[in-house]
Amino acid sequence: MFSLKTLLVNQAPLACLSVNGKDYSIAALSQRLGAPPLADSVFNLLTQWEQNLPKLAALAEQAAAQTDLALTVTGATLPPVLYPGKMLCAGANYYDHLKEMGVPAEKKDQRLFFFFKPARQAAIGDGQHAPIPKNCQKYDWEIELAMVIGKQAKDLTLDNAMEHVAGYTIAIDLSARDFARAPEQFYKFDWVAAKANDASCPIGPALVPACFVKEPQNLNMTLELNGQIKQDANTSGMIFDLREQLVRLTETMTLEPGDVVLTGTPAGVGAASGHFLAPGDQLRAHISGLGTLHTTIT
């Protein structure tokens, strides 16, 4: 098993293989082993994912014998994909989350919908800081499973949808709840003000290829705030499953390699209890098989 990371090394992003807890430069591994050079970024690897996946697997198999190449000093962990063309987020997609917000939780009463986050401005990596937006008093957390697209997709079906997923990672959708509602306006809700703030989408720490995630619809997920568990759920609690989300999205638009789809959050958000984020708060988001994502609120 291996995963893909983007690390800041010598002040430049570096595409890396993570194998057995060690990180390796893909370029350095390829050179050492005499393998044909691969793309220099995770995003570019995704543009020809079907061809690159077996090459990456071959490198990973031989990495254990090249421990002298393992990185020992790095800078920041960046988002695994720098940067998606699109970052799409499913709204209100867990039964227990709807229940805690006082909304009818029958599937027949729901409509699957999505909103955008601006990938370059919103995405930050593991361990990076997330500032509370100016004048925001109700900044909230939402752990989410994120799908990363590996093949161009349009008008998918339930049968072929998952063939277009390259892998999975963890995301935290940070939301400015007090910026969201505009009851005095005819549109009633301001998605951009609520969801599109800078550094509002910690994501990572790695992209785990889909072939290593056997049951993405049955993954345990927890979010801790300062060591206290706030969200504790399973991806089986989604109203619209991963396939249905991809089918709906590709009825509307073409998905491209490297696009990221956040798939909704379970119960336990701050809005339900009236408890919101403050400077210095530590968030820890964990999904089984995908690792742990850390963020400090500033």
pLDDT tens digits along 11-62: 999 999 999 999 999 999 999 999 988 998 999 999 999 999 999 999 999 9
C-alpha–C-alpha distance, residues 95 and 199, integer Å: 27
pLDDT higher than 90, residue 116? yes
Three-state DSSP state, 259:
coil
Between 157 and 103, the more confident residue is 157
Tokens found for residue 262? 């956040």
Predicted pLDDT at 293: 98
C-alpha–C-alpha distance, residues 98 and 224, integer Å: 20
pLDDT higher than 80, residue 259? yes
Query: CA dist 267 to 21, 62, 219, Å?
Result: 31, 42, 15
Between 105 and 200, the more confident residue is 200
Tokens found for residue 253? 């638009």
In the structure, what pLDDT confidence band is assigned to residue 221 with cuts at 50, 70 and 90? very high
C-alpha–C-alpha distance, residues 60 and 233, integer Å: 32
pLDDT higher than 90, residue 110? no
Secondary structure E strands in 126-271: 129-130, 139-140, 143-149, 165-172, 175-176, 181-182, 188-189, 201-209, 220-225, 228-234, 260-262
- pLDDT single digits (tens) 159-209: 999 999 999 999 999 999 999 887 787 877 899 999 999 999 999 999 999
Whats the size of the chain, residue-wise?
298
What is the rounded average pLDDT for all residues in the chain? 95
C-alpha–C-alpha distance, residues 76 and 139, integer Å: 24
Fill in the amino acid letter for 218: N
Q: Residue 170 in contact with residue 143, Cβ under 8 Å?
A: yes
In the structure, what pLDDT confidence band is assigned to residue 103 with cuts at 50, 70 and 90? confident
